[in-house]
Structure 1
């Protein structure tokens, strides 16, 4: 009955998280095409037809690209807060009313034997929010697409058994890269994305003895590399006294390839 998950895809081209137990399965976001999503489910040995619903974080296309298609094809309920619904309804096509549900920010909803807690983040979307999954005393946190990690957020996510944590960019790569300054400024702002170093500093405040796995997520294709993200985060955490590779494991995520199913 363990809580388990796979980061099906993570990055600026599309984001999807599969999480569940023997009794209940959920999908967070559907940022790839329906065909790509189906292929990712097959790769991890999961059945998309067993999914009980799709939880939406925000309306940006890399999180909802395949949402309408999957919801219609598999008759999946969609859960999002009211502002996100208003922002994305015209982007996902017609979805039957009986498949539309409101999941407010700061609420807890139960899906079978999983309790899901939503919390707000700081990003340039209508009302972005991410999720904490609770099951049998275990805790899984998904937090990406935020310009910073506030004390409020840290209080909610602290002590998770596993984190899927944004480690979007290396600041120097971003500053020296090809993006126009307006885009760089947006990424570096409080409503942009968290850098490798800032992510690691936030992690250091929320990791406890319970924490066994951290997945570095939503890496920029232009302003980061897996090896650099891992090195940057490891250096900060090891400097804070954490033993990476022993009790605490760092994992990569990928925009096209799913992670192996991880049991919490």
Structure 2
């Protein structure tokens, strides 16, 4: 009886997550505790979202809420469909709600909730903290998930990682961290210059090298896993991202495979559910 009780107490402080999809074609992440299942972003079709949930043994019907980071289509493509079909509550900040007008179709007023910048909301046992990033959207923000002493951070879609952001996200157990592009691949690639300039700018996306530098400044004693997210289909490769980030971390005295590990994400396949 005592053993079962101790196990239950441990389980109540766990966070489980799967990066369902990550990339320029669509983004979605599932975060759950013993009493909550939260979807962050819904950037794929309703059919594809159902398929991704099925692959990790979950159902959209069991969701408690959807949190939105910003209004770009690779983050909200399937939002309206899921909202209407499953009557799910949706949380976003005021400027993001305004920007989504006309993009997601009609959503019932009693499903629309405001989640302000740099605030904390409770979803059962899960405490969710929002923080702003630097991206060319109305008011982009990402999320930190706390349960007991466990901490999972999501940070993609930002042109750089400021000291303020680093203060919010330091020493998490696990991260979904943007590693969008290789600078040389981007510079030499087929994109027009105005698109390249946007990606490289302060409101664009973080490169492999800059991601590694930022990681080295926020990794803490309890950090064990970093998932490399939002890789560009045209300007990056999984092996290249892992190698580049790993080399940058090594230069800062952090050896991948010793204290922490790097993991890929994919725009089509979910990562295995993992518990911290």
Normalising by the smaller structure, the TM-score range is over 0.9
Q: Specify which of 231, 239, 253 is matched with residue 251 of structure 2.
A: 239
Asked if 1:8 is matched to 2:20, the reply is yes
1:83 aligns to 2:95 (yes or no): yes
Which of 242, 247, 257 is matched with 2:269 structurally?
257
Match of 1:116 among 93, 108, 128: 128
Aligned residues: 264
What is the Cα deviation at residue 139 of structure 1?
0.3
Match of 2:177 among 165, 190, 193: 165
Q: Where does 1:100-111 land on structure 2 (aligned, <5 Å)?
A: 100-111=112-123
In 1, the alpha carbon distance for the partners of 2:175 and 2:250 equals 17
Match of 1:41 in 2: 53
Partner of 2:168: helix, strand, or coil?
Answer: helix
Q: TM-score, normalised by structure 1?
A: 0.99
1:218 pairs with 185, 209, 230, which one? 230
**2: distance between equivalents of 1:51 and 1:4?**
14
- Within 1, Cα distance between the matches of 2:59 and 2:78? 17
Separation of aligned partners in 1, 2:88 and 2:32: 15
Unpaired runs of at least 5, structure 2: 1-10
Q: Work out the CA distance in 2 between the residues paired with 1:75 and 1:135.
A: 26
Matched, 1:94 2:106: yes
- 1:61 corresponds in structure 2 to 73
Q: Which residue of 2 aligns with 1:127?
A: 139
Q: CA deviation at 1:167?
A: 0.1
Partner of 1:91: helix, strand, or coil? Answer: coil
- Equivalent in the alignment of 2:212: 200
Deviations 1:139-160 (A, max 9, x none): 0000000000000000000000
* The structure with more radius of gyration: 2
User: Paired residue for 2:161?
Assistant: 149
Listed as ranges, the gaps of 5+ residues in structure 1 are: none
Of 14, 27, 30, the match for 1:18? 30
* 1:136 aligned onto 2:158: no
- Residue 179 of structure 1 pairs with residue 191 of structure 2: yes
Shift in Å, 1:48:
1.4
Q: Secondary structure at the match of 1:222?
A: coil
Counterpart Cα distance in 2 of 1:243 and 1:231: 12
Question: Which residue is equivalent to 2:5?
Answer: none
Runs of 4+ that moved beyond 4 A = none
The alignment partner of 2:248 has SS state of helix
TM-score normalised to structure 2 length: 0.95
